[in-house]
Structure 1
């Protein structure tokens, strides 16, 4: 279905009787994240909501709002349209996108681009430097290599990984912040916003909602990236469920989010086995090999782009360095879950998240 047709269908949906039905929707229909009523560990519960969604970036994006004036539904629809616009700007899977054009031309000389694309690429560079390469937007060649080898039923050779590493690393890209241009050192260089693009799209769409004076809403992209503003159901935030990374159908706990973002990374679902060994989908950009120290990482940050990038970076750099980062950046909170030493109970390592906003099911934790 074309983007234009999808937009038209959604606007048709939001008119007349159907708009009234959408505005009257009740119950806990917020998202798979959002906590439903429970008394197991006194977690806060969600209430009546309105939810609009669209499919972009190979996942579902949705805006969740408290019941209110019908005009907020139209603003939410416009915010979802913006997600499609940003996808076309950032994707590497469409040859006509701005990101594809930059990748194709920047080895021949400095390339200018849409200011929004330069903004998020430069933000990616900053986070890469700040995490000492734990997050790296230039690791696309490594990701492509592992994807190809997985389809072939094998793992990459050391030489294949070494060849890829010779074309990755943020130091191979020249950023000119005055001219807003980027130049690549080699035609094999590539920038890919897969680890931060959803978060940036949420931030931009959320900014649009704030410009329309909508103050209470939750915006999510896929099952990993969330941006929350204001409050819900007389709570000091929005209740978001946290899955148990060992048993993903179980909810480990609930966190209240207000005026911040949350992102989760892990390899409990996306992985493959080769010759009896399990390989996750998250690669260490510095070595080219999958990492497996942690089951999952959840990051709370002021904006969704940062939360997205740091959840990947923390998964890569491990517990000690992730905690050190949080100590040096007090606006960041995290929940790091390593594999249990024995049994099935978990021992989360938590930093920078106040107890009054986090509700964990003690029965699933190692006492």
Structure 2
């Protein structure tokens, strides 16, 4: 009997040691890369370095797959074909692209057109790559806005087609594409059983689980008016976030700063807010809200946000006011 008890104790002890060793064997690996024309960072808490790097490779492949579907710059994508056939004919697309377009039109409707993926038609008018040295003429702005309007994006669910009714129209997913990619990367890793991580698409990110030290992920929001300082640190184990701001992609002309976030109705860069950060369950949804609110402005933007209580916001006005 004594030997049996000793054996049982030994088995329990070995089991405890195995569990402890397994927990201690976890690693936290981070890798940075350029995807979708932007800096991405993938951080995973995994059982070992080799497995973590294999999983990161899978995230990269997933994001590249998404880019090959929704990129407006790669000529071979379905989205590029939709743009080429603007004003000519509907284009049959995969269910994934069709549903992403549906969700984009949802944001257009709830924001009364402040969010509009057809703003892509103005990509040659406003350039934020350092090559712009003068303001576009009012006539050029007015002419370009004529090709913008989500009402002219026609979806046929039965045939899974997208039709841009105006010749010269163009749609793009720069406003929600990175948030969508972050969400899909997180979804893939959760299916693979990865215990925790962050897929960070240039500030649009999705997290799950906890850090290797068992603490929640801590996401800091920097203050563009005070470099090196943060306005808020968000700690949670499952959170998604998106930030729209005018302090990184902009051009200074004639003594005034013009940002890359364009008001679809006026054709001019949005003013009033410097930064809008939205956080909640989905980075894609947060992306749609942050872009909409940047264009709508503080008052109308906060009214829109109140309709979606699972999402919270940090707004910074051009006067430096911080609204949490």
TM-score range, shorter chain: 0.7 to 0.9
- Partners of 2:118 and 2:243 in 1: CA distance: 21
Is the 1:55–1:61 contact (alpha carbons within 8 Å) kept by the matching residues of 2? yes
Match of 1:120 in 2: 100
Is the 2:195–2:209 contact (alpha carbons within 8 Å) kept by the matching residues of 1? yes
Question: Which deviations, in whole Å up to 9, do the C-alpha atoms of 1:191-247 show, x marking residues without a partner?
Answer: 11111111111122221111112241111112x211011222333x31011111113
Match of 1:9 in 2: none
Check if 1:78 corresponds to 2:58: yes
Q: Tell me: CA distance 1:97–1:154, structure 2 relative to 1, closer, same or farther (3 Å).
A: same
Match of 1:35 in 2: none
Match of 1:14 in 2: none
2:162 aligns with one of 171, 174, 182: 182
Figure out how many residues of one structure are paired with residues of the other and give that number.
299
Match of 1:335 in 2: 314
Q: Tell me: CA distance 1:174–1:307, structure 2 relative to 1, closer, same or farther (3 Å).
A: same
- Partners of 1:149 and 1:55 in 2: CA distance: 17
Is the 2:128–2:249 contact (alpha carbons within 8 Å) kept by the matching residues of 1? no
Question: Does 105-114 or 287-296 show the bigger shift?
Answer: 105-114
Compute the displacement of 1:105 (Å): 2.0
Match of 2:207 in 1: 228
2:183 aligns with one of 203, 219, 230: 203
Match of 1:101 in 2: 81
Give TM-score scaled by structure 1 length: 0.76
Is the 1:53–1:80 contact (alpha carbons within 8 Å) kept by the matching residues of 2? no
1:56 aligns with one of 29, 32, 35: 35
Is the 2:121–2:171 contact (alpha carbons within 8 Å) kept by the matching residues of 1? no
Compute the displacement of 1:148 (Å): 8.6
- Partners of 2:150 and 2:164 in 1: CA distance: 10
Question: Which deviations, in whole Å up to 9, do the C-alpha atoms of 1:139-172 show, x marking residues without a partner?
Answer: 0122321129973521122221111111111001
Check if 1:302 corresponds to 2:302: no
Is the 1:52–1:77 contact (alpha carbons within 8 Å) kept by the matching residues of 2? no
Structure 1 unaligned residues grouped into runs of 5+: 1-23, 27-47, 341-345, 351-367
Compute the displacement of 1:300 (Å): 0.8
The aligned runs of 1:22-33 (5 Å cut-off) are: none
The aligned runs of 1:269-280 (5 Å cut-off) are: 269-280=248-259
Q: Tell me: CA distance 1:277–1:268, structure 2 relative to 1, closer, same or farther (3 Å).
A: same
- Partners of 1:215 and 1:133 in 2: CA distance: 39
Match of 1:283 in 2: 262
Is the 1:335–1:349 contact (alpha carbons within 8 Å) kept by the matching residues of 2? yes
Structure 2 unaligned residues grouped into runs of 5+: 1-23
- Partners of 1:282 and 1:240 in 2: CA distance: 24
Give TM-score scaled by structure 2 length: 0.85
Compute the displacement of 1:106 (Å): 4.4
Is the 2:45–2:52 contact (alpha carbons within 8 Å) kept by the matching residues of 1? no
The secondary structure found in structure 2 opposite 1:192 is coil
Match of 1:137 in 2: 117
Match of 2:134 in 1: 154
Q: Tell me: CA distance 1:292–1:180, structure 2 relative to 1, closer, same or farther (3 Å).
A: same
Check if 1:347 corresponds to 2:308: no
The secondary structure found in structure 1 opposite 2:87 is helix
- Partners of 2:257 and 2:314 in 1: CA distance: 23
